[in-house]
Amino acid sequence: MSPLPEAELVRSSVQLYRYLLRCCRRLPQGPIQQHYRHAIRQSFKVHADEDDPERIQQIIKRAIEDADWVMNK
């Protein structure tokens, strides 16, 4: 089960960014939420120059799986 039902609709990096930030809102307020928001921003900066569509889809899939793990933790 995905953290939010919209996971299946994520197709682009912008959609992924918004999806992950929405997941972050469900975390407890404070340092935990700040940590994951920062991690999301940093990951997008690191992968900003990615242009291979197959690699982008792999990153999206992995990010959703990671968000699922964090939300179930």
| Range(s) of the domain holding residue 44 | 7-72
Residue 16 has pLDDT above 80, yes or no: yes
Residue 2 reports pLDDT greater than 80 = no
The CA-atom distances, in angstroms, between 54 and each of 4, 12, 71 are 23, 12, 26
Q: Is the pLDDT of residue 4 over 80?
A: no
Coil, helix or strand at residue 50: coil
Number of domains forming the structure of the chain: 1
Tell me if 1 is assigned to some domain.
Answer: no
Backbone angles phi, psi at 50, to 5 degrees: -70, 130
Residue 23 forms part of a structural domain: yes
pTM of this structure: 0.82
Is residue 2 included in any domain, yes or no? no
Residues 11, 8, 32, CA angle at the centre, nearest 5°?
Answer: 90
Burial class (CB in 10 A: 0-12, 13-18, 19+), 19: buried
Region 21-46: mean pLDDT is 93
